[in-house]
Structure 1
Amino acid sequence: MKKISRFICYVHIVSFFIFLSSIYALAQDINVAGKIISSEDQKPLSQVSIMIEGTTRGSLSWNDGSFNLIAKNGDYLIFKSIGFDSVRLQAASSMTVIMSPNYIAGTEVVVIGYGRQQRKDVTSAISSISGEQLKEMPVGNINMALQSRIPGLQITSSGNQPGAGSMARIRGINSINVSNGPLYVIDGVITTGDIREINPEDVESIDVLKDASAAAIYGSRAAEGVIIITTKKGARGIASINYSGYFGIQKPVKTFDFINGKEYEMLRRLAYYDESGEILMLNDTTATKRFDNQLFNALELQSIREGKSYDWVSQILQNAPIHNHTISVASGNEKSKLYISGNYYNQDGIIKNSNLTRYSLNASGETQISERLKAILNTNISYVDNRLLDQQIYYNALTISPLMPYSDSTGESTIYKDPTKGTLFIINNPEVLTKSPTYKNDDRVLGNLALEYRIVKDLLYRTSFSADIYNSKNYFYAPRNININGSYTLGGYGSLQNFSYRDYTFENTLNYLYSLGIDHSLNALAGFTFEKRRQEFNYMIGTGFPSDKTSYKDMSLATKKTIGSSFHNWALTSQLARVIYKFKDRYIFNASIRRDGSSYFGENNRYGVFPSVSAAWRLIDEPFMNGLKLDATITDIKFRVSYGVIGNYNRTYNAIYSAMSSSGYPFDGKTVVKGYQINTSYLANKDLRWEQQHQFNVGVDLAFLNNRISFIADYYNKNIKDLLLDLPLPMSSAYVNQTINIARMNTKGVDLQLKIHLFKNNNFNWQTEFNYSVFKSQITELLPGIDSLRPDLKVGEAPNSLLIDYVYDGIYQAGTADSVIMRALGVKPGSVKIKDINNDGKINAYDMTIVGRTTPKGWGGIWNYMNYKGLSLTIFANYMFGHSIFNKAYQDYLYSDGRRLAIKEGLNFWTKEVKDINGNIIVEENTSTNIPRPNAFGNATKTSPTGTSSFAVQQGDYIRIRNITLGYDLPAKITEKIKLRSMNVYMQFLEPFLFTKYKGVDPEISQISTGTWSGSSYELYPRYRTTSLGVRVGF
């Protein structure tokens, strides 16, 4: 009995100590680290909320799905993310968390104007792309990463040179003369400028507001849509350090096969030899010598004797490196969050000495000062150093004589002068031009400081101050051996330009949330904003420097100087309000209004009001749908409709005021006295008002098979009135034009997006996405009683989108019915034949007609993502069709005038038989061709007054493989051994393939002026392909 009692006592004592030990163990802190992945495709999940059960402590997962936090033994962690089922697990030092999609359509959050909203509650046309999706195409420019990813958003580049701008257009052409670019909102900072300074690695999400209902809250500047960029923020938990970088090589893409020196010599002789076009035979030796001296300069003759040929294109091109590096740090605790990143981007151009270097610093933070008060700060600081080359360098290399050596016998760079033209035809040495770039230095600060005060539980007051500060300096110097404006006697040419602006915005908003039971919810917003902009521009041009070594560094040394400047202030004050009402979680109504007052307008029209209304019906949530037993077959049906009015005003500040200009006045019939007068080029109009866009949109959102298939379709119709036009004034008024609000136009179109999850299991995942957009714009009214102001600006057509020229009708042949008109026109066989549209026996402006339209009939993108056990493949392509391009360069290469380089295809020119002095045939007769004979005496201008025709018009249809990326995520067991949270390595191929019948450098062209499609192609900077290796590492 005693032994039993002792045993029981022993058990109790041991149990007591075990209990004490367990309490001690439970009280110990442990460092919890892990990764969160989706059960569908094993892709990491970012921004997952991790909370310690029963506390307010927690963290968020990073972009690679990893997370860290401090917990106690025995704690349970709750993992939550929109669109996924919650997970509850006990804390451990190493965890792998698998979350399953809950297949509730529209649960992701989108950013709207001055707020956020769940996708399922959105009543307007908003498209979104996440930072994770942007990472699938590592590029240095956000706009180019968005290209063809968002239906309705069209982005084109202004060129291939490093630092070239890009143009974004949302839903077609919306104006005749005013900019068609969207409004950007970057972490609350509103801007209409370029966004190339923003590092794509810092972007958390991009939301594109496409219809008037979504954009009207931004009022008078939202006619072209709104792009909201949200950058990454810190999160609660242990600090995370991430590195992302890549290095690549850019290689020029060969476009044409050009002729060599021997072929160029033949074309030049034929072009100058016999203008009659009837007898083609080379002269005797004596005459040929004189002929040579007239046609070729001394250096060319030397090349002919030595049988040499020079490839000027290869001389200026190179394989160029590109690299990009980003380091970011993110951290946070219960009260504060911080994110800081630094970026270095460097791109050499494939034409020597062109370059873009960017340094940027992004910082965002927030802190909970008290239970009711929070402070938020977002800042982006950037510096861009850009070396831009003359746009004519590549064209010069394509047109300069291949008989011209790169340098003369003394080593001096050569200058090409046509001996038959003297100074009238001079081509600068392309290699010399590469040594005289324009140096462009830009620095920019984007910042937003906000305070949020929760007055009561459902009422939030927010006040913020934003700044967009930009400075740009341009320096250029052309030495004596560069031709400027046809002259070498300038003694050097230097220029300095400075452009800067300061844009400040102050905003105050009240946001009220109210719920009545489970059936009614209300979100009300009211606010006031004030914005002020100060802009300056000044320049100085100098010529006649004592030495090229001084260049632009001391402009005071120039013997002749020209200076100029401009300056203006602008202010905008606004009141705004919005109400979002939801009934039974399936009927959603949205109404907003904004009143803007702008100093751009006169007192009579200073204020504009921009209202909008929209509604959505979630049919899938109707009770009767449950009775249809659709289960997972149909997972979402939502209908949307909206109407709104938005404004546009980006051109009027210089049209409401009179300006001064310098002038000369004759005095005593002998001398001219300089003076000043009111600028007579335009008459001020203080009654100008906003261009207004009335837009209707209807859309449907569908999802099937547990969201494995989703489809979004939108149709829009925009009636745009009060368009700005320059009205020609009678000579008696003493003015040339006056800008007025008078024209109208209509733009309608369709946006479609289809997403399909083709395969998904534990090992293999394949997703594909297709989008398509089309629009049609047409002017419905110009001036009263006038249907056309210019050939390319007429009622019934899209503004500035017509190609107007003469119609190519073949080649004139001898001994045919063409003989009569050839005699009338004074042209010879082998010349370009132009169609006589009105059959009056003359070729003049009345024979010009529409030969092409530059607006496409459709464009879009196709995206595919595949993943197999950590190995991923991304393929992205975009396309465009149904538009024309005026390919002037291609025509120049075929229409040989004996002075410019030609392509091999141009050797199939019209010609009669050509013999040498001994009667041997050296050029066979070729009269069955569409390429005219070489002619230096006006081959084109005698038949086409413009020198061009529909011959140069080509279809611009193309399919381009923009990106192929092959990546691999190292397994956790490997990264743990090398003390890393995660590691991804990838190889990327940018622009590897282009499928098109277009014969030029690139069918995807844009000429940024008014923002409409120009459709004009000139060989400015060649296309290139990029192969790069990259890595992403989490520490």
Structure 2
Amino acid sequence: MVVSFIGMASQEVSIKQNVSIILKSDTKVLGEVMVVAYGTAKKESFTGSASVINNKKLELRPISNVTKGLEGQTTGLLTTSGSGQPGEAAKIVIRGYGSINASQDPLYVVDGIPFSGDMSSINPADIESMTVLKDASAGALYGARGANGVIMITTKQGKEGKTKVSWRSTTGWSSRSLKAYDMVDQKEFVQLTYEGLRNGYIFDNGYNWEAAGRQASADLGGVLGGEQYNPFKNYTWGTIIDPATGRVQGDATSAWNESWMDAIQRDNAFRHEHQLSVNGGTEKTKYMFSLGYLNEDGILINTGFQRYNARANINTEVNKWMKTGLNVSLSNSTQNFSDYEGSSNSNVWYSAQFMAPIYPVYIKGEDGKDVLDADGNRQLDYGDGSVQRPQYSDFNPVGGLVDDKADIKTDVAGLRTFLAFGSDSEDAGWAKGIKLTLNFGLDYRNKSQKSYMNMHHGNQAAAGGLLMKYNRRTQSYTFNQLLTWGRSFNFHNIDLLVGHEFYAYKYEFLSAGKTNLVDGILELRPGTNLYNADSYSEDYRVESFFGRFNYNFNEKYYFSASIRTDGSSRFQKDNRWGTFWSVGANWRISQEKFMQNLTWISNLSAKISYGEQGNDNLLRYDSLEGGYVPDYYPWQGLYPLEYPNANQVGGLIGALENKKLSWEKSGNLNVGIEASMFDGRLNVSAEYYNRKTTDMLLGYPKATSSGFSEYNANIGSMRNTGFEFSLGGSLIKTTDFIWNLTWMGSTVTNKVLKLTGESPEIIKGVFSIKEGMPINTYYMAKSAGVDPATGAQLYWVYDKDDNGNITNEYISSDYQKAANSKYYSGSRIPDLYGSINTDFSYKNFDLSILGTYSIGGKVYDSLYAGSMEVMYAGNTWNKHALRRWQQPGDITDVPRIQIGGSYTASDRFLVDASYFAIKNITLGYTIPKQWLKKAGLESVRIFGSVDNLALFSHLDGMDPQYNFKGETDYSYAPNKTYSVGFEINF
């Protein structure tokens, strides 16, 4: 006889008159039960689409933010690589792009309560599992906040048994994971600058080649900053070019050759992390306590992330009718970062790459040697001396990290508590199976930010320095009441849920700044000039009523239905309430009689679901916050009181109201099939989804005579469809050796269905949002190569008639015509993306490898474009510019260099976004238990890992995972991290 139970290892026993059976926990079987909205469900019976990532997967990677642990672990989930700044989160979208102007972020739920704190405050070591809910059947019970998917985080709980103590430590070092753009050296830079000046005189001013060369040599020093910045001390700027060849003198020798990229980076950034946990309990009371500490240096000097964590989780059975629990978490973190981010020229990462190599990091004398200060220290060159640099004057990337300070200190506290009444005992009589659960959750976050720009150098030196301080405080609480009832009779199994939930959120913002500071005192009081003072607060409330019905017949046919009604404070009272619902069915085909002879199939099921969800997380741009933030009052007219009239308060109308504004809605269809074969040795799943978003918030055009160009309205729609598959199993499984392999893949096809009738297209830079096309389709000039006679960049251009129809298409070098002759050139959306995950175990050794991939799609590499179409003297070139056109008859794909030239964005810099990345390799060894008995240890494992080992893409220096939109930005790529560590269980 075989005896089994969910969460326990099956046992085969002989049939006797009296049999005592003790089942042991089986961690592999525990995966059959997963955490879902307001409860748990068996995986094989679930009608929706969900994936579970257990803590073992998270522990493999040295991550400081749990969002980065999701990469490559489930289908349908796209992630960005995120910044290399320690503590930064990855951006995530689930099953395509849910909106144009509203948030696309999923909802995070921690231990059953929506989470409003920082994801960086959660210690990955405290997590037991994460469940990703992807469709309406899985997430409809979260109503207005579940349209973009739900990520449920469950922290570790206490377990019955003796107290167990676990200690885990890792230490390691990080370096840059992505090879830098290959830029020209000093001689090559001077050569290209000379040619750029010469070509300007030839093609713009009519000079002949010889005269243009002479004039370019004469002007070279003036445009590059004079002899102060001439590293070739055996020549002047006027003689550095050989007039006979038009080349840099061959015997020119450099007095300095300093690397800006080396100067702003650490050779090795140190990282160490330590975790202590205590776990145990009795039959009635179970507990888990943990402490964590992380200290991670960034690869940029003076950057890093430090975090302290504590968590206590206690559950107790007061009596057979009542249970209660308390989960408390605390986090304190400090993030030191560069405040020079976002814009290009003031960004230390960007400017260090594109600063011309002739410019030194430190001030040089006439002999080319360092000029020391009174203390014998080198002095940073800010380009603001007697002769200024033509680019990046009053700025030094190293100084932006050394002389200027920026940090964020964050305190986060979380509380989860529940009180449950009810019993499954026969003694309960008619009340058997009825349970009432009260859940309360509280999240508090206080974030203090300091930004200092020094008084001696840089863009605030003239003002005597600038100190800004910001405080952002959020508080939220959730209180829900759940009434459940479950009963089985004959072959019928029913469970019901009805509930009520109230959610309240408050955000408070305060900022102040002063200039003309006292040197060395980073406080506002000594500053004499007020630079900024501002504050505001925002409130958000949601009240909800919901219910769910689950039924199955003989654990063969499953049906589920859920409904939720939300009232959101974001909308006017007449449009405040919305109802969201889902239905789903699952047929376990393997339970049918006609399948019984197919013993090699252990599970085969087919499922279908449909539902509607909402999205009230609308966005607005806030200049103080430096980006898009939640819009808590989108329907209201705005009257910013920021325009004083003398000493009286003054304001302007900022936005028109629309009382009819309401939810964005998402209808989701999901069809799937799952199979498990050969006793679980082979597992296959495939799903199709169709997700249509309607009532998208867009700006509706308004007559300009009204003084406004548009107002907010629910008028847009968009569709995402796709397929997902997962194929995995044990390729080899013997007593000593196991090899598991999993291949995951996903597709997404996006189409904008409707914009406003008067404006069926939205143009944003190089992107177009147009009806009938994918969101953020590239819309730019089309390159036609290089003119071999002149070296000019050629474009395809066209003329239009009065009706806007193209009448004539031809090739031209006129960049203005090209700017007005744009073409649709594809999008960032890949054809296929996913991961390959494999692990091996041989006796006590284990090895795991995670790779992610993306096939298709394009990225506009604006950074590469900026280093190939250099318009201003002082910026440097990519090495590829050495393939440039130089004289009539040259055949090349790189046009002539020309300082002061004019260009327009073109598909010349659209790069195939396909890539393959080796995300993690971990090798471990578990010491045999017989070696540990005398030491009183239960287990010891030692391990080593490398994270972000390699990225293979179509262009060195470019990370195609930067963002979802498809353009490079000014953030540095995630770090490559080598780690070693151990885990001891006492």
Do they fold alike, i.e. is TM over 0.5?
yes
Q: Structure 1 residue 932 and structure 2 residue 895: aligned?
A: yes
- The one-letter amino acid of 2:894's match is I
Which whole-Å deviations, capped at 9, do the CAs of 1:478-534 have from their partners, x for residues lacking one?
Answer: 1134433xx6422212211111111011111111111112x0111111111111111
Aligned residues of 1:636 and 1:703 also touching (Cα < 8 A): yes
Which residue of structure 1 lines up, in the alignment, with residue 595 of structure 2?
Answer: 625
Q: Structure 1 residue 464 and structure 2 residue 443: aligned?
A: no
Aligned residues of 1:207 and 1:227 also touching (Cα < 8 A): yes
Q: Call closer, same or farther: CA 1:80–1:1032 in 2, change over 3 Å.
A: farther
Distance 1:971 1:503 in 2: 48
Which residue of structure 2 lines up, in the alignment, with residue 353 of structure 1?
Answer: 302
Indicate the percent of aligned positions where both proteins have the same amino acid. Answer: 27
- The one-letter amino acid of 1:529's match is E
Q: Call closer, same or farther: CA 1:664–1:959 in 2, change over 3 Å.
A: closer
Give secondary structure in 2 for the equivalent of 1:405.
coil
Q: Give the total of aligned pairs.
A: 898
Distance 1:951 1:743 in 2: 32
Aligned residues of 1:444 and 1:471 also touching (Cα < 8 A): yes
Which residue of structure 2 lines up, in the alignment, with residue 830 of structure 1?
Answer: 791
Distance 2:648 2:784 in 1: 53
Give secondary structure in 2 for the equivalent of 1:276.
helix
Q: Structure 1 residue 541 and structure 2 residue 520: aligned?
A: no
Q: Call closer, same or farther: CA 1:293–1:698 in 2, change over 3 Å.
A: closer
Greater gyration radius: 1
Q: Structure 1 residue 365 and structure 2 residue 287: aligned?
A: no
Aligned residues of 1:83 and 1:107 also touching (Cα < 8 A): no
Which residue of structure 2 lines up, in the alignment, with residue 272 of structure 1?
Answer: 197
Which residue of structure 1 lines up, in the alignment, with residue 856 of structure 2?
Answer: 882
601, 618, 621: which is aligned to 1:634? 601
Distance 2:385 2:27 in 1: 74
Q: Call closer, same or farther: CA 1:731–1:869 in 2, change over 3 Å.
A: same
Deviation of the 1:194 alpha carbon: 4.1
Aligned residues of 1:763 and 1:868 also touching (Cα < 8 A): yes
Aligned residues of 1:172 and 1:775 also touching (Cα < 8 A): yes
Q: Call closer, same or farther: CA 1:574–1:1024 in 2, change over 3 Å.
A: closer
Which residue of structure 2 lines up, in the alignment, with residue 808 of structure 1?
Answer: 783
Distance 1:674 1:831 in 2: 57
Give secondary structure in 2 for the equivalent of 1:359.
strand
Which residue of structure 2 lines up, in the alignment, with residue 398 of structure 1?
Answer: 353
Which residue of structure 1 lines up, in the alignment, with residue 920 of structure 2?
Answer: 963
Distance 2:6 2:581 in 1: 35
Aligned residues of 1:202 and 1:231 also touching (Cα < 8 A): yes
Q: Structure 1 residue 263 and structure 2 residue 188: aligned?
A: yes
Aligned residues of 2:394 and 2:457 also touching (Cα < 8 A): no
Q: Call closer, same or farther: CA 1:888–1:861 in 2, change over 3 Å.
A: same
Distance 2:257 2:222 in 1: 19
Distance 1:329 1:79 in 2: 30
Distance 1:985 1:98 in 2: 30
- The one-letter amino acid of 2:200's match is E
Deviation of the 1:582 alpha carbon: 1.1
Which residue of structure 2 lines up, in the alignment, with residue 311 of structure 1?
Answer: 259
Aligned residues of 2:326 and 2:416 also touching (Cα < 8 A): yes
Distance 1:560 1:772 in 2: 55
Deviation of the 1:282 alpha carbon: 8.5
Q: Call closer, same or farther: CA 1:302–1:208 in 2, change over 3 Å.
A: closer
606, 624, 636: which is aligned to 2:576? 606
Q: Call closer, same or farther: CA 1:422–1:320 in 2, change over 3 Å.
A: closer
Q: Call closer, same or farther: CA 1:352–1:110 in 2, change over 3 Å.
A: same
Which residue of structure 2 lines up, in the alignment, with residue 499 of structure 1?
Answer: 472
Distance 1:851 1:186 in 2: 41
Aligned residues of 1:526 and 1:578 also touching (Cα < 8 A): yes
Which whole-Å deviations, capped at 9, do the CAs of 1:718-774 have from their partners, x for residues lacking one?
Answer: 122111011232233233431111111111111111112111111100111111111
Aligned residues of 2:77 and 2:95 also touching (Cα < 8 A): yes
Aligned residues of 1:805 and 1:849 also touching (Cα < 8 A): yes
Give secondary structure in 1 for the equivalent of 2:194.
helix
Give secondary structure in 1 for the equivalent of 2:524.
helix
Tell me which moved more, 722-731 or 155-164: 155-164
Question: RMSD of aligned C-alpha atoms?
Answer: 2.7
Distance 1:243 1:117 in 2: 32
Tell me which moved more, 733-742 or 875-884: 733-742
Distance 1:1023 1:525 in 2: 44
Q: Structure 1 residue 382 and structure 2 residue 382: aligned?
A: no
Which residue of structure 2 lines up, in the alignment, with residue 983 of structure 1?
Answer: 940
865, 888, 891: which is aligned to 1:891? 865
Distance 1:272 1:488 in 2: 33
Which residue of structure 2 lines up, in the alignment, with residue 852 of structure 1?
Answer: 826
Q: Structure 1 residue 490 and structure 2 residue 463: aligned?
A: yes
Give secondary structure in 2 for the equivalent of 1:120.
helix
Aligned residues of 1:415 and 1:481 also touching (Cα < 8 A): no
Q: Call closer, same or farther: CA 1:636–1:511 in 2, change over 3 Å.
A: same
Q: Structure 1 residue 769 and structure 2 residue 724: aligned?
A: no
Aligned residues of 1:681 and 1:737 also touching (Cα < 8 A): no
Distance 2:657 2:154 in 1: 41
- The one-letter amino acid of 2:283's match is E
Deviation of the 1:137 alpha carbon: 2.9
Deviation of the 1:136 alpha carbon: 2.9
Q: Structure 1 residue 561 and structure 2 residue 539: aligned?
A: no
Q: Structure 1 residue 908 and structure 2 residue 883: aligned?
A: yes
- The one-letter amino acid of 1:1032's match is E
Give secondary structure in 1 for the equivalent of 2:438.
strand
Matches within 5 A, 1:703-718: 703-718=676-691
Deviation of the 1:788 alpha carbon: 1.4
Q: Call closer, same or farther: CA 1:580–1:465 in 2, change over 3 Å.
A: same
Tell me which moved more, 643-652 or 287-296: 287-296
Unaligned runs of 5+ in 2: 15-21, 235-252, 342-346, 364-370, 373-377, 424-430, 619-630, 800-808
Unaligned runs of 5+ in 1: 1-77, 90-96, 666-671, 815-828, 913-924, 1007-1012
Q: Call closer, same or farther: CA 1:583–1:768 in 2, change over 3 Å.
A: same
- The one-letter amino acid of 1:297's match is G
Deviation of the 1:554 alpha carbon: 2.1
Distance 1:287 1:175 in 2: 52
Distance 1:294 1:724 in 2: 49
Distance 1:595 1:845 in 2: 49
Q: Call closer, same or farther: CA 1:743–1:212 in 2, change over 3 Å.
A: same
Which residue of structure 1 lines up, in the alignment, with residue 155 of structure 2?
Answer: 231
- The one-letter amino acid of 1:276's match is Y
Deviation of the 1:556 alpha carbon: 5.3
Tell me which moved more, 361-370 or 215-224: 361-370
Q: Call closer, same or farther: CA 1:682–1:100 in 2, change over 3 Å.
A: closer
131, 134, 149: which is aligned to 2:58? 134
Q: Call closer, same or farther: CA 1:978–1:99 in 2, change over 3 Å.
A: same
Distance 1:257 1:776 in 2: 35
Aligned residues of 2:788 and 2:889 also touching (Cα < 8 A): no
Deviation of the 1:706 alpha carbon: 1.5
Aligned residues of 2:10 and 2:23 also touching (Cα < 8 A): no
Aligned residues of 1:660 and 1:676 also touching (Cα < 8 A): no
Aligned residues of 1:662 and 1:674 also touching (Cα < 8 A): no
Distance 2:116 2:433 in 1: 34
Give secondary structure in 2 for the equivalent of 1:494.
strand
Q: Structure 1 residue 297 and structure 2 residue 221: aligned?
A: no
Which residue of structure 1 lines up, in the alignment, with residue 769 of structure 2?
Answer: 793
Which residue of structure 1 lines up, in the alignment, with residue 660 of structure 2?
Answer: 687
Which residue of structure 2 lines up, in the alignment, with residue 522 of structure 1?
Answer: 494
Distance 2:544 2:643 in 1: 45
Distance 1:373 1:749 in 2: 46
- The one-letter amino acid of 2:351's match is N
Deviation of the 1:467 alpha carbon: 0.6
Q: Call closer, same or farther: CA 1:1024–1:534 in 2, change over 3 Å.
A: closer
Deviation of the 1:200 alpha carbon: 1.4
